[in-house]
Amino acid sequence: KAGVTQTPRYLIKTRGQQVTLSCSPISGHRSVSWYQQTPGQGLQFLFEYFSETQRNKGNFPGRFSGRQFSNSRSEMNVSTLELGDSALYLCASSLGPSQGSETQYFGPGTRLLVL
Amino acid sequence: AQSVTQLGSHVSVSEGALVLLRCNYSSSVPPYLFWYVQYPNQGLQLLLKYTTGATLVKGINGFEAEFKKSETSFHLTKPSAHMSDAAEYFCAVRALGGNEKLTFGTGTRLTIIP
């Protein structure tokens, strides 16, 4: 079974631009979560989607948004990029709440550099 | 709110020596606990997890961890370190039921000395 895939793997943008990152979960997984990893703040939860609905959101500004499609694939968007948005963005999938699964499986991440 | 504290941002051990990475959690009820490993330029890989039942949990690559409720700890150990164990290790906590959010510790970078 294929793992979590994320595209693109690397991205360079300039301040003020916007960016869209994509995540394809493991087949059969319906929950997708996003995390931001930076040297200063570590791993921080962005949001979680299940059945196309955002179930939980971390403490990030409204410039960070996401969505989930009917096939469970998810995208996250960051508008008006700032230098501090440079980070590794990790996507994780799981079967979903009330599905008896406690494990999130992570993708390789998208490394975003904002210049 | 739940939180995780990892003591020691950097740990160095000799090849063949015991590996001990410390993790303490704060939660009003026993949560789910996880250890993940991250190799350079890669995502996170699950080493092991504690949900319910047996408090000594065995994971991949010879790692194990013991859930100690009285000490609110979930320390990761490996009897004999191997060069390939050099990586960053993250302890994480998640509430029972409800959402899927993981709260991570700050990580411990493990260096293996030949």
Residues of A with CB under 8 A from a CB of B: 4, 31, 33, 35, 42-43, 45, 48, 50, 55-56, 58, 90, 92, 94, 96-98, 102-109, 111
* Residue B77 three-state SS: strand
Strand partners, A87: A112
The candidate with the shortest Cα–Cα distance to B109, out of B87, B91, B80, is B87
Better-scored residue on pLDDT, B51 or A115:
A115
Per the CB < 8 Å rule, is B102 touching A35?
yes
C-alpha to C-alpha distance for A11 and A21, rounded to whole angstroms: 9
Measured distance CA(B103)–CA(B106) in Å, rounded: 10
Question: What pLDDT is stored for residue B95 in this prediction?
Answer: 74
pLDDT for position B101:
84
Quick one: what percent of chain A has pLDDT higher than 90? Answer: 86
> Does residue A103 have a pLDDT over 90?
no
Q: What is the largest CA-CA distance in chain B?
A: 45
pLDDT given for residue A99 in this prediction: 57
Bridge partners of residue A115, in order along the sequence: none
For the cut 90, the answer to whether the pLDDT of residue B94 exceeds it is: no
Do you know the residue count of chain B? Answer: 114
8 A C-beta contact, residue A11 and residue A114: no
Better pLDDT: B88 or B53: B88
Mean pLDDT across A5-19: 97
User: Which residues, 6 or more positions from B16, have their beta carbon under 8 angstroms from its beta carbon?
Assistant: B80, B81
pLDDT single digits (tens) A47-66: 999 999 999 899 999 999 99
Q: Which of B44, B94, B99 sits opposite A102 (nearest CB)?
A: B94
For residue B53, give both structure tokens. 């039942």
Instruction: Report the Cα–Cα distance between both ends of chain A, in Å, rounded.
Output: 37
Q: What is the pLDDT of residue A2?
A: 82
- When CB atoms are compared, the residue of A98, A102, A107 closest to B32 is A102
Model pLDDT for residues A13-50, shown as the tens digit of each residue = 999 999 999 999 999 999 999 999 999 899 999 999 99
Q: List the one residue out of B35, B38, B36, B19 whose CA is nearest residue B77.
A: B19
pLDDT for res A20: 98
CB < 8 Å to B105, chain A: 42
